[in-house]
Amino acid sequence: MEHLLIKGSNPLNGEVVISGAKNAVVAIIPAAILANDICIIDNLPRIEDVKCLEDSLTKLGAHCQLIDDRTLTIDSSTIKSYNATFDSVRKIRASYYLMGALLARFKRAEVALPGGCNFGTRPIDLHLKGFRALGAEIIEDYDAGIISLKADRLKGTNIFLDTVSVGATINIMLAATMAEGVTTIENAAKEPHIVDTANFLNMLGAKIKGAGTDVIRITGVEKLHGNEYMIIPDQIEAGTYMIATAACGGHVSVRNIIPKHMDSLSAKLREMGCTIEEGDDYIDVISDGRLSAIRVKTMAYPGFPTDLQPQMAAGLAKADGISILTETVWENRFQYIDQLKKFGCDINVDGRIATIRGVPQLNGAEVIATDLRAGAAMVIAGLAAAGTTKIGNIRFIDRGYEQIEYKLKALGADIKRVKN
């Protein structure tokens, strides 16, 4: 058991280099199963979710090898099994991509139900609806916690997603890549990691058009081949450092990013009173720590990401005035607010709306990370608070942030990891 200890109130200054995107790499590692060959993945973030997927692919029979800190080779030609019901699969949400990937490669898959952060019910009905439309028979055994999929052949078709879903869009794309004929996904999600996964598959020989728009057209191919691919930078990690700088004050250059992916956050930080300067692959955030209250509503991309909502709540806790934060994606993503209140935040939650009355000062507290991004919110509150903060349950934070304490320390934060 480890925790983070923060002595708050330091401004943040300097440069932080952003790692590869968690939500892209967790789709691209399973997608490598389709290659039946060697894939080399660069700009790999060293986070727990990646280790979990490496472990899952290895258990399926793949040869996964780290060439260096940032580069992973996956030889998926040695995979002979379509049974992914081991523990590492149950630990993370993104293991649902093993369904689409194994179904595409073997026309069969047995996959344990995914775990991950809990923000209310997280159904996968749209994923399954898509697989069925492509011709798969599915047995959902919720007692055993296993989904079994089987198809004689997968045949391209038109699929309209009732709800915009990142996971369903990518999973159906995976299954359709080697289906017969053309598959069209309408009302598709448009997140950067969907484009990244489509680009990866296209480099392996897939024929996917329209990723990044709400209609994706996939012409099935018989087989794919290996290739080398560089993961895009992490939009949410970048956003977390941008909000931290806004809240603490200072001048931080957030490097190795795609500034366009940050548009919805940059607009909000400007409204809060920060100066945002964009370059080709960086954004500078300049803040005097005195912020104005704003309204924020989470939406699918290019809207404000739900995965930055908790960090934004922490960032707005000291802003001057009353902020309104509306969560439209997840039904129950405010469980962390009770933890934030321990810093002295004045926040009232009513259903999907949080009303945040800015307070002049936050005080250090003993809190826990209730999930990954909630953990990041605790870090931001701790950095902006006076006194000492102790954050427990940091295994959640390690699932998605690479070396968070080193990156923050380099910016001037007083933060350390302590073993209990």
The binding site for ligand UD1 (CB under 6 A) comprises 23, 26, 93-94, 122-127, 163, 165-168, 189, 306-307, 329-330
8 A C-beta contact, residue 36 and residue 205: no
Which residue number, 6 or 238, has a Cβ lying nearer to ligand UD1? 238
**Residue burial 135-171, b: 16+ Cβ < 10 Å; e: rest:** bbebeeeeeeebbbbbbeebbbbebebeebbbbbbbb
Spatial separation of the C-alpha atoms in residues 39 and 394, rounded to whole Å: 32
Q: Give least dist CB 401 to ligand UD1, A.
A: 13
Which residue number, 154 or 189, has a Cβ lying nearer to ligand UD1? 189
Which residue number, 128 or 411, has a Cβ lying nearer to ligand UD1? 128
Spatial separation of the C-alpha atoms in residues 313 and 351, rounded to whole Å: 15
Q: Give least dist CB 105 to ligand UD1, A.
A: 20
The three-class DSSP label of residue 252 is strand
Q: Give least dist CB 77 to ligand UD1, A.
A: 26
The three-class DSSP label of residue 186 is strand
Which residue number, 114 or 364, has a Cβ lying nearer to ligand UD1? 114
Could you tell me the CA-to-CA distances from 230 to 61, 70, 73, 116, 293 in Å, in that order? 24, 10, 12, 25, 38
Q: Which residue is nearest to ligand UD1 (CB)?
A: 167
Which residue number, 63 or 122, has a Cβ lying nearer to ligand UD1? 122
> Is 39 an active-site residue?
no
Which residue number, 169 or 389, has a Cβ lying nearer to ligand UD1? 169
8 A C-beta contact, residue 178 and residue 221: yes
Spatial separation of the C-alpha atoms in residues 78 and 56, rounded to whole Å: 14
Which residue number, 208 or 274, has a Cβ lying nearer to ligand UD1? 208
8 A C-beta contact, residue 43 and residue 19: yes
Q: Could you say which of 39, 64, 117, 274 is catalytic? A: 117
Q: What is the CA radius of gyration of the chain?
A: 21
Amino acid (one-letter) located at 349: V
Which residue number, 97 or 343, has a Cβ lying nearer to ligand UD1? 97
Spatial separation of the C-alpha atoms in residues 313 and 357, rounded to whole Å: 11
8 A C-beta contact, residue 348 and residue 313: no
Spatial separation of the C-alpha atoms in residues 377 and 391, rounded to whole Å: 11
143: Cβ contacts below 8 Å, ≥ 6 apart: none
Nearest 5°: CA angle at 31, between 26 and 33? 120
Helix/strand/coil (H/E/C) assignment for every residue in 37-82: CEEEEECCCCCHHHHHHHHHHHHHCCEEEEEECCEEEEEHHHCCCC
8 A C-beta contact, residue 288 and residue 11: no
Catalytic residues: 117
